[in-house]
Amino acid sequence: MLNLKIKEATKNGHQELEKNVIFKLKAIENNLDYADVLKYFYAYFKAAEAHIEAALPSSLAPYFATRRNASHIEKDIVDLGGKLDNLPEVASPDIENKNQAIGALYVLEGSIMGGPHIVKMLQHRGITTGFNFFNGYGDKSQDKWAEFTAIINQEVADEDHQQAIDAALATFAAFTNTFNSKSVLS
């Protein structure tokens, strides 16, 4: 199954990204700090989603239209009193076909699944708002993930799995590079 192959192949990339995200989350002291961290997510998701949508197969269009996306992060930034300026530099992976789009989308959808852990971490830091994006799909998050993995497992032929895996790896690396971007914020 493609989703399990991607999960296994991207374990290190996932851990590296997570380390960078947690480092930034631990530095949050107030709503504006949190809004600044969300700018990394917003800039990356906005860029990646545009590339993914351009190469996404029509079979995934209904799913893509209803998923959490950069607009949800934008709402959180504004709700926290932040502005959508001074965004970090983003380097997006090459996404030229459906297999690459699916691999990249796996990373974005997977990041939503980790949202509840981020919400708890932020609540412990005294943050009480700005969770529209990280709350994911609420109590339907597991169902939405199952729907997504079923679609991608069916959509990508066995001989094309490596393209999706390579795109997922590149997506994790680009997302991590965005979090390491020096040109940012406030």
pLDDT confidence tier of residue 54, bands split at 50, 70 and 90: very high
pLDDT digits 0-9 by tens, 97-145: 999 999 999 999 998 888 888 999 999 989 999 999 999 888 898 899 9
The pTM for the full model equals: 0.92
Give the pLDDT band of residue 186 (cuts 50, 70, 90): very low
End-to-end CA distance of the chain: 43
CB atoms within 10 A of CB 147: 14
